[in-house]
Each structure stands twice: as C-alpha cells, then as structure tokens.
Amino acid sequence: MRVYFDYNATTPVAPDVVEAMTHVTLDLFGNPSSVHHFGQEAKRVLDDARAAVARLIGGEPSEVVFTSGGTESDNFAIRGVAEALEPTGRRHLITTAIEHEAVLNTFRALVRRGWRTTLLPVDQTGIVAPDRLREALEPTAGKPDDTVLVSVMHANNEIGTVQPVAELAAIAHERHAVFHTDAVQSVGKIPVDVRALGVDLLSLSAHKFNGPKGAGALWIKRGTRMHPILTGGKHERNRRAGTENVPAIAGLGVAASLAAGKLATEAVRVKQLRDRLEERVLSAVAGTAINGVREPRVPNTTNISFDRVEAESLLIALDLEGVAVSTGSACSSGTLEPSHVLKAMGLPSHRAQNSLRFSLGSLSTEADVDRVIEVLPRLVDKLRALTPKTVGAHGGVPSARFPA
C-alpha cells in the first residue's frame, strides 16, 4: 500500500481532466488564433476554460490570462508591474519572507536591477502582521508612495497558513501600491474570491487542484497597469504571447469546474482527515509539534516537527515504507537546506531540519491516515535510537507545542 501525502507538491490528475485533454489533443488540434473552423473550435476551448477559471475565483473571464503555471504567473505579475511602473520613478517592492521561490527569486532579480525590496517578517504563527506592511509602506527618504507592488501569498505551501490578504490589500491600496497574491496553494482548497480579497493580481496553478502540469493563470483586475513579459504575437489580448497550450488549458478549465463543484464538501472531508492525522501523530509520537498557527490554515496541510529526528532521514524511511511526504517545497536540485519558511518564523535551524509536511487531497482516505500512524511512531523511535546526540538536538529550546 502506498500513501501519497504530498498534494502541495502536485496532485493526481482527475479522470475527467484527462478525458477532456485527450479529446482536445486528438480532435481539436487547431490554433486558437486561426480564423477558420479549426481555429474557432480551439478558441472555444480556451473561452470555456477561461469562464471556468473565472467562476472558480469570482473574476471576469476577460481578466484571466493563461500561463504555463504558478511560476510564470508570479513572474508575470511582479515583473509586469515593475516594468510598467518603472517610468514613474517609484522603486520599492514589498513581499514576505515566507513566499515561494518563484516570488522570492523574482524579487531578487529585481533587487539586482536596482529595485529596493522589503521582506515582511512573520512570527511563529506563520502569519504576516498588517502593521509590518503599514511600516514598510511608510515614506522613505522623503518619498511618499514609493512602493509600486506588494506581493503576499494567500496560503503558504509549507505550513498552510492563510495570510490576511484582504486586510493587507486594503492597506497597500491606501498607499497606491498594486497588490498581488500567489494563491497557488489556496485555489481549489478553500473559497477564493478575487473581489472579496480586493487584490489586483492573483496567481493559480492547475496541477495543485487535479489539473495538468504546465497550465496556470494570472488573474489581472481590469485596469491594472501591466507589461507583458513574454512578447510576440497578439495572444491572450496582447498580454501573454505564444500559442496557447490548448489541451492543458482545457484540463485546467475542467479541473477548475470540478474544484468549484466540490470545494465545500471536500474541504470539510480533507480537514477531518488532516485533523485526525495531526491529533494522532501528536499523541502517538512524543516530542512533536505543529509548526505555525492552526487557524487560519488550508484544510489539507500540516507541518510537524519531530524532536531529535533528521527530517531527511524520516522522509526516506517513510518512503521506503510507501508513505510519500515532503520536507518543504519540492526542490529540483534536491538540496535540503533548512526551510526558509520555518527559519523566517524564527524556528532554530535544527528544528527546521526536523520538520515534515503532510499534505492531503482528493484521493486521501482514513486508511491512508491509519497507515501513516501505523508506521510513523516505529520509524521515529528507530531514528531517535540511532541519531547521534549532535543531530537535531533541541539545544535548550523547549519542544512544547506552539500556541494555536
């Protein structure tokens, strides 16, 4: 029996999605920019998908631009705004210390090109305090409203905490900054409504909610000043050049419809499983603690630290028992740096290295949770018995649970 508890890395593609993609690939191969029948058929696929995505997030179809996924959407949002507003002479960008690398490394690239950047801190709750944003927006060197863009993720990929995006967006707007949220880990898991959030830009990715890899979208509120970052033909209303990945976008559309249809029931079901897992791990394994605040959190994610256990070893031991989890964000180079998210929360680096992320989803069952509880305590005991004293010892830091 294999258990997959790594839904925040990616999710299994829903059969309806596969069917739609197969149909489009085989039967509707036209280029959506073509004038003729074949092109019109393909164009209709895009229109349907655009409407489905818009429905899922409460926007207008015309505000949805298809991209290759979350990373491109984040790049597009940040670079697109920075480039469009560069001539205004404003040179400040704000994000948080717990963003995904797609945001952090894009900010870093802009730092090298002369932009000033502020990374908002978080405390051990893993939530950004609105006052920190207010401070960061204060005029610097006599320049009021120097900030062009604030980018704050909706749900964190590693610990699942949900940021007070609506409040933060309102604060940013008071100072005339554009507000972007990376909602890759919240769309499809909790209700996301762009109007209620009051954001200007929102990134989403199909493969995080049972869609295919290589498809995503950036929602751009009408009127937002943006430059394209991929230049070329007049695709996507001149916002994103390149012939659209029609089959994958069809898959995104179906995944969005499926997610919208089952969001309420699925969130409850998955939350029960996650809570059960959490409760049983905490009671069955000594020296465990949840990282970050328990609410508000996406219902599928928990990040647990295991005192005196190197997470890397536990991950491998679990995998050899058929249980797939993660130490944080999946990283292409496979390096296992202590998580920047947990470090930013102020956890000492040994504790950051003692932490595993369990993320559940559409195909998770109670049997999966039971299986994890069956193997986990034994593996932790084994690793603790073998772990040298120097590894992961909680040097003076109490292993008490954080306040919820």
Interface contacts to another protein, rule CB under 8 A: 97, 99, 101, 104-105, 107-108, 111-112, 116-121, 132, 135-136, 140, 310, 312-313, 316-317, 319-320, 331, 333-337, 340, 343-344, 349, 379, 382-383, 386-388
- Closest CB to another protein among residues 320, 363: 320
Instruction: Please report how close the Cβ of residue 131 comes to another protein at its closest, in angstroms.
Output: 12
Instruction: Please report how close the Cβ of residue 249 comes to another protein at its closest, in angstroms.
Output: 29
Instruction: Please report how close the Cβ of residue 236 comes to another protein at its closest, in angstroms.
Output: 29
Q: Which residues contact 4 (CB under 8 A, 6 or more apart)?
A: 12, 324, 363, 364, 368
Q: Which residues contact 39 (CB under 8 A, 6 or more apart)?
A: 30, 31, 32, 33
Q: Is 57 marked active-site? A: no
- Closest CB to another protein among residues 49, 148: 148
- Closest CB to another protein among residues 2, 195: 2
Instruction: Please report how close the Cβ of residue 183 comes to another protein at its closest, in angstroms.
Output: 19
Q: Closest by alpha carbon to 62, among 47, 40, 81? A: 47
CA–CA separation, 327 and 158 (whole Å): 8
B/e letters for 99-108, b = 16+ CB within 10 Å, e = fewer, are bbebbbebbe
- Closest CB to another protein among residues 142, 334: 334
Torsion of CA 372, 296, 151, 348, to 10 degrees: -60
Instruction: Please report how close the Cβ of residue 117 comes to another protein at its closest, in angstroms.
Output: 6
Q: Which residues contact 109 (CB under 8 A, 6 or more apart)?
A: none
Among 196, 331, 363, 367, the active-site one is 331
- SS3 for 219? strand
- Closest CB to another protein among residues 135, 174: 135
Give the distance, in angstroms, between the CA of residue 18 and the centroid of all CA atoms in the same chain: 23
Peptide bond connecting 388 to the previous residue in cis, omega within 30 degrees of 0: no
Question: Could you give the residue numbers annotated as active site?
Answer: 331
